[in-house]
Structure 1
């Protein structure tokens, strides 16, 4: 295996003790395009990772909903962090290397790192790397981690599961990596919420709002989604991302981390007890959320499941950076969908009550192929 001499890019607003981004800095390159242009290109065969959406900057009312939701559910988020962290400590021990999947996994990885440090006195290494649907994981980033921690045990981390596309991509990527390089990786994905029944390592299977899903880079260290475009990424490069320094005044990344971390002492006993119960039962996966997706696909005559994004987090993403067609809502009165209703109203997107699904909501992407750019 080729020795990786890259150094982690000094991007983002998190402290280096919290996370190291194994990404190439593409901040000086114009990669953004409008939602309709990107969607048209994606549905015409381009890959979503070749460009970036324009970062949505929400109005004050929406930001207020973020803060209200965060303050109301910070303890619930902290409990889920604790439950996952306790399981990781039990299963993997002090040689664990936390590897977040950028970008939704990054704040969750930081929270897990902080919880374990607070309650066990262990400062685990934490990296954030790129994995892209249909393209795989950043192997150069994995080479770097193996080089730095030859005796470590990687624990992959993300925010939540939708229908399981990234979970399946991770399983395939780990198998490919072992076949190529002989290093066996644990493909179990640690998440706060697993409403899709895609993993055995989670804080809850309830579809609830993880408040960091409400915003884009301003709650993720001002780092963009990851980019894999061969014009800018060479074979020996890490996958790329941008650092949006122009948004510094809007950045709430550290405040989000601190607000959740302050709840860790309160939830520790419940987290330990819940983790112990989970560790003593056999957890089934089964990707049960795909049953809902297939039903929705048939009922609404949707060509491809890529256009169906179930769960609170994924529905939020549809409204923030795709071209939404409609939103299906199991329970519009749920406190976890207030921001979705606000975004849908702002963007003129139909919300349809759809009670018979496991997820709280589901975002449907508009078919735009053939539309004028």
Structure 2
């Protein structure tokens, strides 16, 4: 079987060519961006899948960028510790010849950091690739075939940034059922309690969640559109080379890598039980707020940020007493978009983003968005 070429920087993406190979199709010249409201209406009406188009890239203002830089400066040490914890778990349990496969794009900076830790602490040169996984469509089968043809599937470790309610861990397990790949997902933060390989289960900010392509190698989220992706092709993505002046991808990596020296022993977490408590919490919120669709509930700091950057947000739930530094950018985005913020006494996450249920463009509701049907 012949395969498409592996994409590498600087021709695709701003990461160094040895840090990641993208198992993706370059769609940089294809106009795929659509206004947020148009995408939301099409997705919720069933007229389109979210992966068929791209959101318009968020361009942060100076106040938001200052929040990002402050968050990175204050959290680099704990991110480095989480990277070390995950890396040591992987090497202890899966061996020293592992192949890192990050889920593009939020997982890709984490895959690079894990690779750097293995090099710095163990002298290893681990292969690292980024692949696409799409909710409801599974992981890219051509990428999986490429990996099976070039590496022992038993050595492949899948990597992501964080878990929300656990939808991607379920998608990965379903897509790889019966295959030679181990679907266990390694993440920095697992507030959803849906994987045994994690750096923390606290729901704190991973600053790479604050931005889009400019902290992820200038690569878009992945695209699966049958008009463009034909049989035998990898899923697609765009390289936003025109945003190079705003790119902080490598600065993010270098800041966290510089904190590796501050990290002492990284024993495995004492409790690695998987109980999917996050999904149970989402089900309660679906019922309480009359949302009807758990896909419209995005729990955790990272997922709430995505709601505010890419979707039509309805409201943000914030846990009473959650660390202010982890929520500063969320509160700023909510204020800028006019999204109500509710403080909730007991949440298993620092915050939860709710996408507007039954959204349609047209007559505007009291909170600035149109609704059809009952949503309270």
**Paired residues, number:** 358
> Runs of at least 4 residues of structure 1 off by over 4 A?
none
Question: After superposition, where does 1:145-164 map in structure 2 within 5 Å?
Answer: 145-150=147-152, 153-164=155-166
Q: In the alignment, what sits opposite 2:372?
A: none
CA gap 1:164/1:333 in 2 versus in 1, 3 angstroms: closer
Kindly indicate whether the alpha-carbon contact (under 8 Å) linking 1:4 and 1:140 is maintained by their aligned counterparts in 2.
no
Kindly indicate whether the alpha-carbon contact (under 8 Å) linking 1:196 and 1:288 is maintained by their aligned counterparts in 2.
yes
Q: In the alignment, what sits opposite 1:26?
A: 27
Q: In the alignment, what sits opposite 1:5?
A: 3
Query: Is 1:257 the counterpart of 2:256 in the alignment?
Result: no
Question: After superposition, where does 1:114-193 map in structure 2 within 5 Å?
Answer: 114-150=116-152, 153-175=155-177, 178=179, 184-193=180-189
Kindly indicate whether the alpha-carbon contact (under 8 Å) linking 1:4 and 1:143 is maintained by their aligned counterparts in 2.
no
Query: Is 1:361 the counterpart of 2:351 in the alignment?
Result: yes
CA distance in structure 2 between the partners assigned to 1:238 and 1:151 by the alignment: 18
The runs of 5 or more residues in structure 2 that have no matched partner are 364-376
Query: Is 1:343 the counterpart of 2:333 in the alignment?
Result: yes
Query: Is 1:72 the counterpart of 2:74 in the alignment?
Result: yes
Deviation at 1:249, TM superposition (A): 0.2
Q: In the alignment, what sits opposite 1:224?
A: 220
Q: In the alignment, what sits opposite 1:97?
A: 99
Q: CA RMSD in A?
A: 1.4
CA gap 1:172/1:103 in 2 versus in 1, 3 angstroms: same
Deviation at 1:333, TM superposition (A): 5.3
Considering Cα pairs closer than 8 Å and 6+ residues apart, tell me whether 1 or 2 has the greater RCO: 1
Structure with higher helix content: 1
TM norm structure 2: 0.93
CA distance in structure 2 between the partners assigned to 1:370 and 1:75 by the alignment: 43
Deviation at 1:282, TM superposition (A): 6.3
CA distance in structure 1 between the partners assigned to 2:243 and 2:58 by the alignment: 11
Kindly indicate whether the alpha-carbon contact (under 8 Å) linking 1:101 and 1:129 is maintained by their aligned counterparts in 2.
yes
CA gap 1:51/1:165 in 2 versus in 1, 3 angstroms: same
- Residue by residue over 1:78-115, the C-alpha shift from the partner in whole angstroms, topping out at 9 and shown as x without a partner, is 00000000001101112200000000000000000000
Q: SS in structure 1 opposite 2:96?
A: helix
Point out the more displaced range, 291-300 or 320-329. 291-300
Question: After superposition, where does 1:279-290 map in structure 2 within 5 Å?
Answer: 283-290=272-279
